Amino acid sequence: MPTCVLAYSGGLDTSVILGWLMDEGYDVHAVYVDLGQPCEDRQAIMDKARNIGAKSAQIVDVQEELCRDFAFPVLQWDAKYEGMYLLGTSIARPLISKKCLQIAREVGADAYAHGATGKGNDQCRFQLAAEALDPNVKIIAPWRIEKFRNAFPGRTAMIEYCRQRNIPVKASVAKPYSSDENCLHISYEAGKLEELTVNGVELVEFGMTVSPQKAPDKIENVKIAFESGVPVSVNGKRLNAFEIVSLLNQIGGRNGVGRIDMVENRFVGMKSRGVYEAPGMTVLYAGHRVIEQLTMDRDLMHLRDRLSPEVAEMVYYGFWYHAKLDALMAFNREAQKPVTGEVSLNLYKGNIILDGCSSPNSLYDEGIATMEGGGSYNQTDAEGFLRIQGLPSRVQARVRPRQY
């Protein structure tokens, strides 16, 4: 009998896929990759997989690895897809593939199955990561198989399938939007969110954040320390990567920080609407940028900022295990070496307000920058500087005068 490993979340799609793969004759090993999903009952998910009939069901804890080796390098790039999305789902997918392939090797599975649709980005992230790690891997993507789509033309049919088999799922016909969660964020899409006239942040039942309107009527201060661009402590307490993200999720979440609603361009070519919440990572991005402003050379920062959208795009598309991203990550590890210091932030009703910052590597020189007299900067030097800078414009103006 053929055997496969299924990246199993316990949600609607993978619960149906587990049953369908068994119907197709597969022994299925369900693998729940624990990414720190804040709203999920892990034991219930394992019990459900076994009750459906999985050959085995296991949890693989990657919470620290996700934050330390995947999220923090992207944070160091200040990478945001299309200027807004902090890539919480995108970052997790290559790690899921890595762990599933490791389990497949252990159990001798013939294939790796996932529940990503043929319209979305996740199919790209799962498969591109898996093939980069194992070029001979066999991928089973039921949503790209016509027989599966004929059996389940929509979420209503999937919900009915679960009802008939007594498989508990969170989705319903009345509230059919989909969510994906980990310790970095929760994403929401589909259902009524596909209607752009619907207010997404009012429709969604958020799992990590309160609304800014319901956040406390007082400022909460948080202090974050970085070493070479890596967050290392919160409010003076040194923590590991997952602990930092978890604590800042609580602090940012109760202050209404980190919600966005956007229409984004999927890798497969269509636009889609997504609502996201990422309280902890939003606070970390804000704090990290402040320490960079103190410590990074101007031209190096500007070069990094020009490359940052390229990194965000590669992560979003699924090219995590790629020679270009390897090289870019190596570049930024060098660029981040001086990014050490502490930032103090005030959180208030969805806002992040700088309260103060310091760094032993600060390039800010008050004696040079001051508008008062003195210091080592001689303003007379600016005369020659500007004459040299303006030379090309003066020559062009004589040859091709502009109308004004």
The model's confidence at residue 155, banded by pLDDT at 50, 70 and 90, is confident
Question: What would the mean pLDDT of 30-40 be, rounded to a whole number?
Answer: 91
Catalytic annotation, pick one of 93, 125, 259, 304? 93
Residue 15 near residue 48, CB atoms below 8 Å: yes
The model's confidence at residue 172, banded by pLDDT at 50, 70 and 90, is low
**Digit-coded pLDDT (tens) for 285-339:** 999 999 999 999 999 999 999 999 999 999 999 999 999 999 999 999 999 999 9
Q: Of 162-176, 269-283, 342-356, where does mean pLDDT reach its minimum?
A: 162-176
User: What is the structure's pLDDT at 347?
Assistant: 98
Is the predicted pLDDT of residue 386 greater than 80, yes or no? yes
The model's confidence at residue 174, banded by pLDDT at 50, 70 and 90, is low
Based on the residue annotation, tell me whether 34 is a catalytic residue of this protein: no
Give the CA-trace dihedral at 293, 297, 301, 304, to 10 degrees.
-140
The model's confidence at residue 167, banded by pLDDT at 50, 70 and 90, is confident
Question: What would the mean pLDDT of 135-151 be, rounded to a whole number?
Answer: 96
Choose among 70, 94, 17: nearest CA to 48: 17
Catalytic annotation, pick one of 9, 78, 122, 259? 122
User: What is the structure's pLDDT at 12?
Assistant: 86
Based on the residue annotation, tell me whether 326 is a catalytic residue of this protein: no
Is the predicted pLDDT of residue 175 greater than 70, yes or no? no
Question: What would the mean pLDDT of 144-171 be, rounded to a whole number?
Answer: 88
The model's confidence at residue 250, banded by pLDDT at 50, 70 and 90, is very high
Give the burial class of 43: count Cβ atoms within 10 A of its Cβ; 0-12 exposed, 13-18 middle, 19 or more buried: exposed
Catalytic annotation, pick one of 9, 13, 180, 187? 13
Based on the residue annotation, tell me whether 110 is a catalytic residue of this protein: no
Q: Residues of the chain with pLDDT > 90: what percent?
A: 86
Parallel/antiparallel/unpaired status of strands 139-140 and 111-113: parallel
Distance separating alpha carbons of residues 74 and 332, to the nearest angstrom = 10
**Digit-coded pLDDT (tens) for 66-108:** 999 999 999 999 999 999 999 999 999 999 999 999 999 999 9
Question: What would the mean pLDDT of 107-111 be, rounded to a whole number?
Answer: 96
User: What is the structure's pLDDT at 154?
Assistant: 82
The model's confidence at residue 401, banded by pLDDT at 50, 70 and 90, is very high
Catalytic annotation, pick one of 178, 179, 246, 359? 178
The model's confidence at residue 378, banded by pLDDT at 50, 70 and 90, is confident
**Digit-coded pLDDT (tens) for 188-235:** 998 889 999 999 999 999 999 999 999 999 999 999 999 999 999 999
The larger pLDDT score, comparing residue 165 to residue 64, is at 64
Q: DSSP code of 141?
A: -
Domains identified in the chain and CATH numbers: 3-176 (3.40.50.620), 186-358 (3.90.1260.10)
Q: Residues of the chain with pLDDT > 70: what percent?
A: 98
Please, what is the average pLDDT of the chain? 94
Based on the residue annotation, tell me whether 259 is a catalytic residue of this protein: no
Q: Write the secondary structure of the chain as one string of H (helix), E (strand) and C (coil).
A: CCEEEEECCCCHHHHHHHHHHHHCCCEEEEEEEECCCCCCCHHHHHHHHHHHCCCEEEEEECHHHHHHHHHHHHHHCCCCECCCECCHHHHHHHHHHHHHHHHHHHHCCCEEECCCCCCCCHHHHHHHHHHHHCCCCCEECHHHCHHHHHHCCCHHHHHHHHHHCCCCCCCCCCCCCEEEECCCCEEEECHHHHCCCCCHHHHCCCCCCCCHHHCCCCCEEEEEEEECCEEEEECCEECCHHHHHHHHHHHHHHCCCCEEEEEEECCCCCEEEEEEECHHHHHHHHHHHHHHHHHCCHHHHHHHHHHHHHHHHHHHHCCCCCHHHHHHHHHHHHHCCCCCEEEEEEEECCEEEEEEEECCCCCCCHHHHCCCCCCCCCCCHHHHHHHHHHHHHHHHHHHCCCCC
Is the predicted pLDDT of residue 263 greater than 80, yes or no? yes
Dig out the tokens for 9 from the structure.
């979340």
